[in-house]
Structure 1
């Protein structure tokens, strides 16, 4: 990771059915912050997904941001009351989602680790900031 705060990060923000209004509200807030420039290091707010996608077992949306935005992003997620997986993007997809990951708003979910890229072949790095699942 870079020491200048520009290392790429992701957060996967999950919701259960009863939390959908909170998820919609956070999604709208993050989108507005990104579009207005209030959160200039927030690079992408992905689509709300209604079911499991990739390794993620619950509905979620993904955001891409730079490391220097981590305090601001963590505070927004914590205030929402939602559960999130926050991780850097390295060349090791498995480590990103396990040993390098931070869980907010609850314990870890059981991710489907079988779909992770092999170390050194992380497909997330080239797509950082461009699209979600």
Structure 2
């Protein structure tokens, strides 16, 4: 059985902005720009193909755990029509992407096979 992390194990968070077309890319750029002007976040690349476990195009926003209570409510109200996948960073990628997740908007099925522990 996988041991779940404790709150103190959360070092930071990712919020992945999901989109599926050029209009969505522009919307994500707008949301990311506004968020970066208001909060201390790192904005990742604006992928125009599925990357990692993400089934659609996305952009990653990275931020410290201490700012979760400010950034997530802002995203709730300002995400436009983007879907947002939020997860902690604890050092256990599998748990972070499966059990420690939140969705703003529609949820998606992730391909978490890359995070599975090797079978014995």
When normalised by structure 2's length, the TM-score is 0.78
Alignment: residue pair count: 109
Shift of 1:2: 2.5
Deviation by residue 1:99-120 (Cα, 9 ceiling, x = unmatched)? 11111112x211111122639x
TM alignment of 1:1-133, pairs within 5 A: 1-2=7-8, 7-17=11-21, 18-31=23-36, 33=37, 38-40=38-40, 42=41, 44-78=42-76, 79-81=78-80, 82-106=82-106, 108-116=107-115, 118=117
Q: What is the CA–CA distance in structure 1 between the aligned matches of 2:47 and 2:33, rounded to whole Å?
A: 14
When normalised by structure 1's length, the TM-score is 0.71
**Are the equivalent residues in 2 in contact too, given 1:83–1:104 (CA < 8 A)?**
yes
Unaligned runs of 5+ in 1: 120-133
Q: What is the CA–CA distance in structure 1 between the aligned matches of 2:63 and 2:28, rounded to whole Å?
A: 18
Structure 2 equivalent of residue 130 of structure 1: none
Q: What is the CA–CA distance in structure 1 between the aligned matches of 2:8 and 2:95, rounded to whole Å?
A: 17
Identify the structure with the greater strand proportion. Answer: 2
Segments of 4+ in structure 1 off by > 3 A? none
Unaligned runs of 5+ in 2: 1-6
Output the aligned Cα RMSD. Answer: 2.2
